[in-house]
Amino acid sequence: MTEVFAPQYVAIVMPPVAGLLAEGWTGLAWGLLAAALCAGVPAAVIWVGVRRGRLDSIHLVERKSRKGPMLAGFAAVVVGLVVLAVLDAPRVVVASAAVMLAWVVVMGSITLLWKISFHTGVSAGTAVVLAHVLPPMPVLAVGMVVVAVIGWARVRVSHHTAGQVIAGAAAGTATTWATLAILL
């Protein structure tokens, strides 16, 4: 679960899926651009850091190793968001990128002081995004189960405490709802 639902992978999948569901094939194309710029670049930074031995893993288990990738993620999402806005991408795709920016700002700020779970935050936030383009109740019900299993797995592998996974889910949900309420 922690491998399949790594935040980088979930963030890469979210914009194309939301774009496809909301806008069809055109939305998928815009979502792929958003994914490449806003999630692909930070994922590549992390991957290179792991390959060069500067980062412990793609999961950034050591909190102190999160600062550099967070700054790269922030820069990539800001650039991606500007590109999408200037090119007049569909609102749901722009909102998906803005959600990623909110995750980086909110959870990134928290993780500088305390190790919050990005796994549960990004997955919970993605469920909220999908609940805006699909029937909300079934999506949120399935999302809660998936996030709970991810949280259990993160605690089980000793990468987080129960409080850290709960806080991650709460932060991801709240920042996503707030961002979508403003933009959609």
pLDDT averaged over consecutive 10-residue blocks of the chain (184 residues)?
92 98 98 97 92 88 82 94 97 98 96 94 98 98 98 96 98 98 94
| Beta-carbon contacts of residue 35 (< 8 Å; ≥ 6 apart) | 11, 12, 13, 14, 15, 16
Which tokens is 43 given?
């994922």
Shortest CA distance to 126 belongs to which of 169, 83, 84, 184? 169
Answer yes or no: is 138 within a domain: yes
Q: Is the dihedral of CA 176, 12, 40, 47 positive or negative?
A: positive
164 touches 116 (CB < 8 A): yes
pLDDT value of residue 122: 98
Answer yes or no: is 115 within a domain: yes
pLDDT value of residue 56: 87
Answer yes or no: is 41 within a domain: yes
Answer yes or no: is 1 within a domain: no
Answer yes or no: is 2 within a domain: no
Supply the pTM of this predicted model. 0.93
CA distance linking residue 4 with residue 71, whole number of Å: 24
| Beta-carbon contacts of residue 91 (< 8 Å; ≥ 6 apart) | 183, 184
| Beta-carbon contacts of residue 114 (< 8 Å; ≥ 6 apart) | 164, 167
pLDDT value of residue 65: 83
Q: Which residue has the tokens 């949900």?
A: 173
Domain that holds residue 134: 7-183
Answer yes or no: is 159 within a domain: yes
Q: Structural domain tally of the chain?
A: 1
Shortest CA distance to 119 belongs to which of 65, 66, 174, 172? 172
